[in-house]
Structure 1
Amino acid sequence: MYHRSSIQMVLSSSFTAVAVTGMIFLGLTLFLRFSHATNAQMAESSRRVLSQVNLNMDRYLRDMMRISDTVYYKVIKDTDLAEASLDDALELLWESSREGVVSIAVFSGDGELIAAAPLQELKNSVTPERESWFAAAEERIENLHFSTPHVQDLFEDPDYRYRWVVSLSRQVELTRAGNIQSGVLLVDMSFGGIEQICKDVDLGHSQGYLYLTDRSGEIIYHPRQQLIYAGLLEENNLTAAGYTDGTHTEKFQGQTRQVTVKTVGYTGWKLVAVVPSTTLWDNYGQIILFFLFVVLFSVYLLIFVNLRLSGWITAPVKKLDRAVKALEAGEQVADFDVGGPYEVEHLSHSIESMVSTMRHLMDDIIQQEKQKRRSELDVLQAQINPHFLYNTLDSVVWMTENGRTEDAVVMLTSLARFFRISLSRGSSVIPIADELEHARHYLTIQKMRYKNKFSADIQAEDGVEQLYTIKLVIQPVLENAIYHGMTYADGDGEIHVRAFRDGCDVVIEVTDNGPGMPEDVVERLLDPAGPAVPGAKGSGIGFRNVHRRIQLTFGPAYGLTILSEPDAGTAVRIRIPALDREAAERYRKEGER
């Protein structure tokens, strides 16, 4: 069923995949644009909130600075401490701003209390000149100093109240009997005012919050300040203190957060608004659900429409496919009248015509390949050393002229039998026994020509001689063994021919005790594109001829293997399939057609 509808499925799935991919791409693009816009909107919202908080904080700090300026420029500057006291003026100023101010105090340069309101008695354990706000005021002579939140514990309070304050300190000049002395003015602001400004901030997100740090990152206000002081919670305040004003994305304790920073004027404090990424994703939930619903519904609709449409288009194509499969199954006649659109009908007629043409062409090609293979084998066969005949006849003439008639008769007899087997009544496949006999006659002739300079023997394993091979595969190997081995052999040369079974194959091995060959020469001998072997008769043509004829006949798994090393002799193995009479007849008919 799948194969019959494969074209339909391809069309349906392709159309659906393209459409769904386009929808997903469009949806993701819109989603990313929306998320980017949402992030930008949230960042802008956080910036607006921080701007408003900054205005409120700025107003509150200006009020405190205004009180400090009033005490300094309208009270301290106009009072000579040798003639008048500052207590009444400080008490009056404190009464008018008691909602935001916890206390006002003036100290001399050595830490002596000059005046204070509303409390006027320092604790015995307090040393003002050692307090951080006192030292900071003396270091910043021209500027005001705002401290971090701390408990106000300078004065003896009959009510035993301890209030959280932020100290505003500054260096002042005190006049005593006309002399100018250095002093410090301290205004303790109620931390509740700062806390009230910050804690009522609504960032528009349930998990978002705002906190305040000084310029070094120490927390001034945090909605979970007590937990942070107790070590139960951590905040990334030190890193946030280094941020520039604007929106940043940070990862803290495995959570991605959107952090917006605003610097408070005069103080260097930083307002930090934090919105966790979980809050951002909460806003995307409904959009994602709606997007998934639209995609799933669209996919269902597209699949339904595409299946119907592709089914209507592919029905004639499937019918044509069945006709082609019928031809593949071996049927001689197939119905190519598929109907359908003009293009499909035209295609069916073209295929029908093409099938007819291909059948004729295949028959022609088969015949041409057989003829080509036969011609190539004939050419290779014709290359088998024709000068051997001339050299042998020259030797017969020489023997006759020198009265060696019997030797001449033996050589001519061997030559006649040699060529009788070579011809083999025109057959290219002969019994291995004939091929070995052919080799014996060749060795007889060559031993007489070389005056018995070498000895030779031929052995065959039982049953091997009844098998078949293509002819003239041993003689060229023997020729190379004589020319390249025996000519240069030290002492008596030896040539051994052995035929044996190796599994489903037959191996005919020719070994000699000649000088051997280096590895590079061995590699060139069977390389059809390699150069001729220099300084040697035959130059390796006989090896290549035999190797090529065997592979043309039986395939690349068969052929020659040469094993040789300098001063170690040479062994040539001829590997052919083990062919009985029936198998040999098939090869003979193929080669002679």
Structure 2
Amino acid sequence: MARKYFLKNLVFFLLPLLAPLLILGVFALALLQGNIKSNLEKSNLNLLTQTKANVDLILNEIDSLGLYFDKDPKIVKRLKDILSKKSLSLEELDSLDFIKNTIETTANSKPYLYSIYIYFERGGRNFFSSTQGLSNLDRFDDTSWYPDYFAMKARHNFWCKKRLIKQYPLDTKDTAIISIAKKLYSPGSLSGDGVLVLNILPGYVNHILKNLAVLKDQTILVLDETDEIVFQNAAQPYLANMNISRFKQSPQAFFSIVSDRKRYSISVIHSDRHGWSYISIVPNQSLYQPLSALVAFTVFLLILSLMLGTALTYSITRKKYRQLERVLKVIDAAKSGSPLPPLPERAHDEYDYIIQSLLTTFIEQNYLKIQLSERKYKLQASEFKALQSQINPHFLYNTLHTIYWEVLNLTGQPNKANQMIANLTDILEYSLSRPNDRVTLAEEIKNARSYIEIQQIRYQNLFEVIWEYDEADLQIKTVKLLLQPLIENSIYHGIKEQGGGVIKIKLKHCKACLKISVIDNGIGISKAKLQEIRKQLGAAAEPSQHIGVYNTHKRLQIYYGSDSGLRVISKPNFGTAVIIKIPLA
């Protein structure tokens, strides 16, 4: 039984513990994997777009210079004349200085430009260099671009080539440059007869690429139209085993490949301007490293939860099983009449509470019987007291009737004293009979009129009362003694203080409720006093003043709910209004 109980607790304890953790882990992995792929695609697109924009700035230089030396007939003619002559006139020297300043300004203002060459076939072996001005191939160190021009001009208008040159004749170390060449056309000519060469320092552009916010081991490549790598941020070892050129042929901008049993994510964008391509390569191992860590952490949590859950379930099951045995022993002892175990001092858990309750029940059974007898006696005593209290109202009624007739006998005719005694008798009978029953508004108004007549005789018609109601509403039932305390409050605290006034009692049917208003034009209530009264209405303890208003407010809340009650509105020297809303539903 203990083993079965343990397995049952293990299932019920571990299932709610492990299931959410497993579901959360799977959901997090799926969501994270999808987000990584989506974010990677967007990030790579931004990186490649940024790289393309940087490279386009360089290519824009050769396009703008090409337009300058390709479309202006005067500049092209002067430059050709200068390159083809051995001696120059003053005007030609001025033109040469202008061209030199234009090219040198461009070369010196761009940190990635090493030099600029301009060559026309008419000049023979003469050409113009931004570093040395008017130059000749026979006396110039960098000449490898010259045969490239004749090899490429028949097939290409634009080409790019990596080269190694010496900056100075005595240099022992070569400088790596990338020559970007654009074929020049003389005005009116359909075939090119010159070339514009921009020699670029690749280290500058590679440095820009290295400073991009890339992932670990991510490579950014810039390929020309011949699929040769022009720029790159890093030379990763995995590039040696990849066929980079086939990436350009993929119809998709984002895809995956497998190389050397490792998966890589590839992003490609193309430039239609010169046929260059921009490629991002990210090893999935680096990309999904956080995901792998999350998987490992989730598995670790599952194993740890399983171990801790099993140990905790075993401990709880063992403890509960022993406590169940104690409960069964108490029950068996009670059935057989054997001595009961001692009562636990404190209940540490539900089982101790059960044992304590069982022992208390058995031990105090006789005491409970005595308490039941005492309750029956107290109930009989309270019933007798209630019957006895019913005698007092009848005694008051009879006494008042006797006084009424004695006054009538003494005066010989009805008078104000008889009228006051009759009204007081009606009020007492209305107040003391059936205290818990609800009454109609007609009965409540009749009682209020009796009270008003007594007060008008007492104060010698100091105030006037105006009634406003619909006869159809008089059969609506409400709590007893609703109007009298409010009228009394208007007389004593409003009208009496200023020596006279008017009290208006208004009953109006509003949607699902009946609105009762008792309004006077007395002295009103100050703002501070009004706040005090409102605070007293919301308090639990009974106040020392305005007890009638407070009791009426509490009775309304008891009958109709805490949202009911009365509301007091007042303004000094203008009067006071007490408003009650009685639900009709």
Which has the larger helix fraction? 2
TM (normalized to structure 1)?
0.43
